[in-house]
Amino acid sequence: MADVSVRFAMTNDSEVVLNLSLPQALRLMEAIARKVGETLAERSNQSVGGVGGVPSPAPSNGMPSLGPYTPS
């Protein structure tokens, strides 16, 4: 008998149900979290346009930086 039931919705009318023991469910969640972290890091490096794997600094609002404001 399974300790944990994990459901993944595939489409509006279908799902995958995994009946796992608690240690298996924990390993699954750790693997998912690791993959999400890797994917987010890859996307961050690609969207920033870093060179050699080192991302260039980007403003937090996603807009290009125009440099510091200097009043005339």
In angstroms, the CA 2 to CA 6 distance is 10
Question: Residue 48's pLDDT is what?
Answer: 60
- Tell me the pLDDT of the chain averaged across its residues: 76
Could you give the angle at the alpha carbon of 33 between the alpha carbons of 38 and 40, nearest 5°?
30
Tokens of 72: 């005339």
pTM above 0.75, yes or no: no
Query: What is the tens place of the pLDDT at every residue in 39-65?
Result: 888 888 776 655 555 555 555 555 555
In angstroms, the CA 65 to CA 51 distance is 18
